A and B are shown apart, each in its own frame.
Chain A
Amino acid sequence: MNPFELHALKQRIKDIAFRVIAILGLLFALCVLILLLVNVAADGLGRINLQFLTSFPSRHADKAGIVAGLAGSFFMVIITAAIAVPVGIGAAIYLEEYGRKNWIGRFIEINIANLAGVPSIVYGLLGLGLFVRWMSLDRSILAGSLTMSLLIMPVIIISTREALRAVPNGIREASFAVGATRWQTIWHHLLPISFPSILTGIILAISRAIGETAPLITIGALTYVTFLPKNLDSAFTILPIQIYNWVSRPQQEFHENAAAGIIMLLVFTLLLNSIAIILRNRFSR
């Protein structure tokens, strides 16, 4: 065996070894996920019924339900999206298409990337100081949604910028070359072309918003709510908080409620995601 063949053999072994490691990693992640799902399903599946979905929380585990959390999560997500999506996309368009690529632009870019990595509890503290106290919004669903918008906005900005950047420059040039203005170029070409990717970013951001608990606990979302939010000023709770509350109780029955709540949270998230995926596939054709 000459040196070249030996080298090739070594490389092939490395190649195979790496593939095995990668597959093991994947299997591990899958096993954990399946274990979690099976565990949760075994505990909670039996608890899911109409009563569970339509009842408010209660001292009696068998009478308790998640309607307040479900409604709270639902309205919060909608309000959050209504705030974060337009602002986030607008900011991204400005940064990507209008803003100059000088040091200020780079500074802002780095800061946004950092914001996306800030722990969510810090947003909670910000929301508490800014919305709850300073703007006196109190523990309202609006304050919660605003806080959540801050949390997911960097994600939306970054993914929208990536989506815009992925549009071939030729499209911009082509549009400008026939005399289109910058706005016409963005509105007629860039947004329609990048829409599927932007939507993906929004899906990820909203999925995150559904699952986050810490910032809302920080601003003081309630855990025991026996009414549905009526307007923006209403106090509210969200599903993860409800689950957290149940988990922290000693009784086994409430743990089953928590498992059932987790299943509903998963269903809720998957539902939102699938709507977005369907939308995306429609637009990207």
Chain B
Amino acid sequence: MYKVETRDVNLFYGNTHALKNVTMGILEYQVVAMIGPSGCGKSTYLRLFNRMNDMIDGVRIEGEVLLSGKDIYNGGTRVEEIRKKVGMVFQKPNPFPKTIFENVAYGLRINGISNKKFIEETVERSLKQAALWDEVKDELKKSALALSGGQQQRLCIARALAVEPSVILMDEPASALDPISSAKIEELIWELKKKYTIIIVTHNMQQAARVSDKTAFFYLGELIEFNDTKELFMNPKHERTQNYITGRFG
């Protein structure tokens, strides 16, 4: 069974048809990269899985979006519950203007967890998972805003991990970072795939090729091609995919 799946999903922003009949399934512990030109719908598609599109006025969604077999848009699941199961990391590092510790602990606190020991353990575990612990363990009380961009992004990953999601969505997580920080994020994705299902949107095709098991190419709201990453980059089946990945678009 697929970990996350969409069936014939259509999404409209007012009159704009942003996603067209997208059917796609992602297995557990897979890393799937979404590529495509700007405005092709890949970010919108990513945000289906934690219902982030709900925040935008005038959005209409048709079709089914399944998380572990359950439709997350029907069936009376609270949107907050879904977001605890599906973590998200954004393009620009967006730590809260609080301490490093409080950033990671926030997800626990809003869940009503007040056990100090449990929170401390979870913060440590999450920071370790995000490969940030060694760099910040002595300054957990420092403001998160004092960290470098790459550290902030890993902090955001730790924050997402703290509530123990099973799926992590990443919206161009390394595009605002320098190459070294970017490489660290990629290494991290390799580590995280052992325990999480990861969907990553990226403009950087080499990055998509490096980190993902499968790659999906979107164009004008349609899923043009979805295949094993190696196959898609070596031998794309569709001409559009080939034109895009070889840089001969249009």
Contact = CB atoms under 8 A, between A and B. Distances in A.
- Touch between chains A and B, by CB atoms below 8 Å: yes
Contacts of B111: 179
A3 interface: no
A1 interface: no
B159 A179 contact: no
Contacts of B159: 174, 178
Given A178-B110, A178-B160, A181-B80, A171 B94 contact: yes
A173 B87 contact: no
B92 interface: yes
A176 B80 CA distance: 8
A173 B96 contact: no
A170 B83 contact: no
Interface in B122-171: 156, 159-160, 162-163
A118 B218 CA distance: 52
A165 interface: no
A193 interface: yes
Interface residues of A, number: 21
A177 B50 CA distance: 7
Given A102-B57, A171-B96, A193-B97, A178 B106 contact: yes
B94 A179 contact: no
A174 B95 contact: yes
Contacts of B57: 100-102
B90 interface: yes
A177 B96 contact: no
Interface of A: 100-102, 168, 170-181, 184, 188-189, 192-193
A176 B96 contact: no
Nearest to A100: B57
Contact of B80 (A100, A102, A172, A180): A180
B121 interface: no
A179 B92 contact: no
Contacts of B52: 173, 176-177
Nearest to B50: A177
Contact of A179 (B55, B81, B156): B81
A185 to B, nearest CB: 9
B107 interface: yes
Contacts of B97: 192-193
Nearest to B91: A170
A173 B81 contact: no
A180 B162 CA distance: 14
Nearest to B83: A179
A174 B156 contact: yes
Contacts of B80: 179-181
A164 to B, nearest CB: 15
B88 interface: yes
Contacts of B214: none
Q: Which 9 A/B pairs are nearest by Cβ-Cβ distance?
A: A170-B94, A178-B107, A179-B84, A177-B88, A179-B83, A174-B94, A179-B80, A180-B110, A100-B57
Contacts of A102: 57
Contacts of A179: 80-81, 83-84, 107, 110-111, 163
Interface centre among A101, A170, A174, A189 (most CB of B within 10 A): A174
A96 to B, nearest CB: 13
Interface string B16-33: 000000000000000000
A177 B83 contact: yes
Nearest to A181: B80
B87 A177 contact: yes
Contacts of A176: 52, 55, 83
Nearest to B111: A179
28 contacts: A101-B57, A168-B94, A173-B55, A173-B88, A173-B90, A173-B94, A174-B90, A174-B96, A174-B156, A174-B159, A175-B96, A176-B55, A176-B83, A177-B52, A177-B87, A177-B90, A177-B160, A178-B84, A178-B106, A178-B107, A178-B159, A178-B160, A179-B81, A179-B84, A179-B111, A181-B80, A189-B96, A193-B97
Contacts of B88: 173, 177
Given A175-B106, A178-B107, A178-B160, 10 more contacts: A173-B52, A173-B94, A177-B52, A177-B160, A178-B84, A178-B163, A179-B81, A179-B111, A181-B110, A192-B97
Contacts of B96: 171, 174-175, 189
A181 B50 CA distance: 13
